[in-house]
Structure 1
Amino acid sequence: MPDAKPFKSRLGDLWRFRQPLDLTQAGDLDHPHIPPRVGAKLLSAQGAPEILPEKCLITVHGFSATPFETHFLLDHLLEKYPAWQGSQIMLGAHGSDIAEFRKASWQDWQRPLEQELADLQRLGYPNQCVIASSTGCTLLLELLNRRCFPAVKQLVLVAPLVEPREKTMRLAALARKAGVQAIANDFDPDWIACWYRELPLHAVHELDKLTRKLRRELKKGMVLPPDLEILIVQSRRDRVVDPHSASLIAQGLPHNHLETLLLDSHWHLPILPRPREPREDLIRWRVYAKIEQFLASPLRPWPETADLP
């Protein structure tokens, strides 16, 4: 998603980008014939496990990106815990020809996530944890609100998008009618080549519809399995997600054990390496340690009602 900018500045961007963008470079995700640097690796493709893993980690990335967003964290966890297994999901219409992204719905983005969770459940993979980032969190919560996956026991939500920092995202429908085709994605110069530089207004409008839907569901109150544990990781000065999103999730999930880790960081994704910013990279390692602690030390199962004093 684009960085938060003053309202007048963003309106100027919308007017300037009435024509298709021509900003891509040879190594960019949306440059013709360039495959994603990190693609999907589905655990379900291996079939039923011969030896059940202690834990199954499923990662899902955010809007306009690929699994690169979470693969540094996933690689770290799998290297430290060899008995764990991982699955990297690529959202639908992502990581391929951007022409597909220009016309896909948010349901299209979500479909591979739902399919992989269903396949892992069918194949008998136990003790699943979903690690999601940004819009991946939005898609995940919407999915879990309407479909139960009993093997999913833990969620790690990194910068979950409920309320965007960029309020003008809600103008996407009007901007499309005015002839705007796309805006530029410019929020993370360190990793920009791993996102689509072009954000089609159709896709931004779909994202707006998705976040509005989730906000409505959270306001009504969502009923997820009570033994589902949730960890939220959120930067206080996130340039993309309004940090109030974490509070909206906590209020909308009153029956779940939920922890929130608020970081003194300005990065949207504090799980990505920042070699040029030693302090931010130190924050990343602290986040990894907290996530590892959360995953390795789950709460004891809830007792049956008859066993309660």
Structure 2
Amino acid sequence: MKLTSIAPFDLSEAQPFLLEGSDTGFLFLHGFTSTPQSVREVAHQVHAASGATVYCPLLAGHGESSVALAKTTQADWVASAEAALELLSSRCTQVIIGGLSLGATLSLNLAARFPEKIHGVVSINGSTGLYRPEVVAPLYQANGTGFIAGIGSDIAEPSMAEICYDRIPRDTLKERFLLTNATGALLPLIRQPILILQSRRDNVVDPENAPRIATSVGSSEIHLSWLGRSYHVATLDYDRGLIAERIVELLRQVAIVTK
């Protein structure tokens, strides 16, 4: 695990967790190479303010080692998200799904494919297939290294850090690109209310993904908010309180509409 904080991490924060609440559920997915620690504080704020049931699972290959991640594919991450959706759907009459980065991509993917189970979607710095050529080309070099440097803990606030891997399997990044591009093609199928939150300065995901999502989805309820103080891991950054507020607003909207 990558430890970038000035103080030791409490690795118990990296574990999945369920916050019991009302029959409105919020499924909150963490990002690529990360853990539920990256969304834990926002999840607790959402739970406290809305009373919703909040579930933050751990995606396959995460929370262990980069070697474990190398043994997974995008199908495994999708399966993790689908299993979490089934669990929360069994407890709640309406479910909103959201996530950070890869978690946002998965949320968009599931919202497009399971409209009968998902009543709203939240994308925080989500990727839908917009990448610079110089980022993608090295992944297909025949003599490329097996691992590349990690991309985690892109945070403006110096006192905050993310529990994440310090290296990424090169072949696993290809799986990530496959999933994000496929999800971009699915965007027109999303018709639920959607909240799109995007950092203006994001050193991992191209901010242009946000307007792409907003103009591609089939929803009539689209809320796009720009985050001016945070980098990629916005749920651990200066705007984390604002993110929680926006999610609570969507939860309340969905709860009113579906009752």
Q: CA deviation at 1:260?
A: 0.2
Match status 1:179 vs 2:137: no
In the alignment, structure 1 residue 91 sits paired with structure 2 residue 59: yes
Pairing 1:161–2:107 present: no
Match of 1:77 among 42, 46, 49: 46
CA deviations 1:120-175 (Å, max 9, x no partner) are: 33x252121112111111122223333x2524212121111124565433224323
1:131/1:156 contact within 8 Å kept: yes
The whole-number CA distance in structure 2 between the counterparts of 1:288 and 1:124 is 22
Label 1:192 to 1:205 Cα distance change in 2 as closer, same or farther (>3 A).
farther
Pairing of 1:1-309 with structure 2 (within 5 A): 27=3, 37-42=13-18, 53-81=22-50, 83-121=51-89, 123-146=90-113, 148-164=114-130, 167-175=133-141, 177-186=142-151, 188=154, 194-218=163-187, 222-224=188-190, 226=191, 228-273=192-237, 281=238, 283-298=239-254, 301=257
Q: 1:164 to 1:36 in 2, by over 3 A?
A: farther
8 Å CA contact 2:108, 2:121 repeated in 1: no
For residue 18 of structure 1, what is the aligned residue in structure 2? none
Contact 1:35 1:95 in 2 (8 A): no
> Relative to structure 1, is the Cα distance of residues 119 and 286 closer, same or farther in structure 2, using a 3 angstrom cutoff?
closer
CA separation of 1:35/1:166 partners in 2, compared to 1, >3 Å: closer, same or farther?
Answer: farther
Q: TM-score, normalised by structure 1?
A: 0.71
Kindly provide the amino acid, as one letter, of the partner of residue 127 in structure 2. L
Aligned residue type for 2:253: S
Q: Percent identity?
A: 22
Between Structure 1 and Structure 2, whose CA radius of gyration is higher? 1
Aligned Cα RMSD in Å?
A: 2.8
| Residue aligned with 2:206, SS | coil
* Gap change, CA 1:36 and 1:210, over 3 Å in 2: farther
Distance in 2 separating the partners of 1:251 and 1:88: 28
Give how far 1:238 is off.
Answer: 1.2
- Matched positions, count: 250
Amino acid paired to 2:174: H
Q: Normalization by structure 2: what TM-score? A: 0.83
Deviation of residue 272 (structure 1)? 1.1
Distance 2:18 2:221 in 1: 28
TM-aligned CA distance change 1:217 to 1:56, over 3 Å? closer
Cα 1:217–1:84 shift into 2, 3 Å = closer
1:265–1:131 distance in 2 versus 1, CA, 3 Å = same
Q: In the TM superposition, what is the alpha-carbon distance from 1:261 to its structure 2 partner?
A: 0.2
Separation of aligned partners in 1, 2:223 and 2:202: 18
CA spacing shift, 1:158–1:186, aligned 2, 3 Å: closer
Structure 2, unpaired ranges of 5+: 5-9
